[in-house]
Amino acid sequence: MRTQVCIIGGGPSGLLLGQLLHSIGVDAVVLERQTQEYVLSRIRAGVLEVGFQNLMRQAGVGARMDREGHVHNGTLITYNDERVRIDFSTLTGTSVMVYGQTEVTRDLYAARAEIGAKTFHSVENVEIHDVEGDAPYVTFDQDGVTHRVECDFVAGCDGFHGVSRQRIPKDKRKEFEREYPFGWLGVLSRTPPADEELIYANSSRGFALCSMRNAELSRYYIQCPMTDRIEDWSDDAFWDELRRRIPSETAEQMVTGPSIEKSIAPLRSFVCEPMQWGRLFLCGDAAHIVPPTGAKGLNTAASDIHYLFEAMRAHYLDHDASAMDQYGPRALARVWKTQRFSWWMTTLLHHFPEQSDFDHHIQAAEIAHLRDNVEAQRVLAKNYVGLPY
């Protein structure tokens, strides 16, 4: 078969790119190794920067997000019982929205089905060919049959473990990585949120996050050693530990209940350079990963999609021969800024095994600096709601 853009990966970034391309009359085929049901069952982040929100609207899939999403005008940073509110609206004139990644993906799948666009699920043995030339193509197996997709460009939106990044010759790509010596134990529960805004907590016992998906569905996290197992943590043990790490006033009024999902996720910072190789373009986790502390993973993938879509629009509509070569440098410039912010938030709020009493006092002083310095709050707020594209 023939298409203009072959998108590898049927998560939110790949689906969003496909929908944006459709809006300008560019055909795209999406390949996904999992079933649609599996993709929609994954529990992921749900804080959307203003740029991501605008991309959803631009793609024509923002109506349910605008109707059901929860606008957040600020967040809380706490150190033991001390609370510092970062007022996004006052400091930046904008806000973020809590709308689960699963819901984003559901909206994009529905839109793709409505336009009758081709999406292949449960694909295997995906291989990317001839991206160094003018006629790339992708082969894959589905139900025992081998298919070939000829295209102008390949968009690698297939995540950290996908095939796209590996297609760049090993001696031509440089990878920067930091693994953190702890993970996040996360619990999803059908309970009202602990607070109307997210709480990022640094306590003497380590980090905790109080988040939500909607008014009756809450998501909580605590820092834990990567040697821990889910079986080590009963629901009661989790709630008890969470209460110890958040301000006492919040802990006393928090509603708890049975977990409906529990997992332990590692934390990593990762960047691959370059983000393009010939006619192959990496997006999202295929090119970079951030620790989730700053809510930048999904949002940085969205900024990649913005830059790639703008390049493709210039290529197809304006016949700009140089547009596609601008994608990698533009995307990477923003990627490293979000890496810095995510690393800073992680360093500020977590306990590291090698930390001394001096280091803990520096963390406390940094949070006091946020409390007392409006400009420091403004820098945090601008990064959190999303740097401009």
CB 388 within 8 A of CB 51: yes
79 is an active site residue = no
296 is an active site residue = yes
247 is an active site residue = no
Which of 155, 156, 115 is closest to 22 using CA atoms?
Answer: 115
Q: Which residues contact 232 (CB under 8 A, 6 or more apart)?
A: none
Q: Which residues pair with 207 in a beta bridge?
A: 202
For residue 60, which amino acid is it?
G
CB 219 within 8 A of CB 260: no
Which of 364, 379, 353, 389 is closest to 294 using CA atoms?
Answer: 379
H helix intervals, the chain: 12-23, 36-41, 50-58, 63-68, 88-92, 101-115, 235-245, 248-253, 297-317, 327-349, 357-372, 374-385
CB 150 within 8 A of CB 128: no
3-state secondary structure of 3: coil
Q: Which residues contact 380 (CB under 8 A, 6 or more apart)?
A: 86, 370
Pairing of strands 288-289, 280-282: unpaired
* CA 375/CA 377 separation, integer angstroms: 5
Based on the number of CB atoms within 10 Å of its own CB, is 303 exposed (0-12), middle (13-18) or buried (19 or more)? buried
Indicate which residue of 193, 247, 291, 296 is catalytic: 296
327 is an active site residue = no
Give counts: helices (H), strands (E), the chain.
12, 20
For residue 229, which amino acid is it?
R
Burial 202-226, CB ≥16 within 10 A → b, else e: bbeebbbbbbbbbeebbbbbbbbee
* CA 22/CA 384 separation, integer angstroms: 30
Indicate which residue of 136, 288, 292, 306 is catalytic: 292
288 is an active site residue = no
Indicate which residue of 99, 109, 200, 221 is catalytic: 200
* CA 177/CA 165 separation, integer angstroms: 15
Q: How far is CA 255 from CA 189, 282, 321, in A?
A: 10, 42, 57
- Which residues belong to the active site? 72, 200, 292, 296, 384
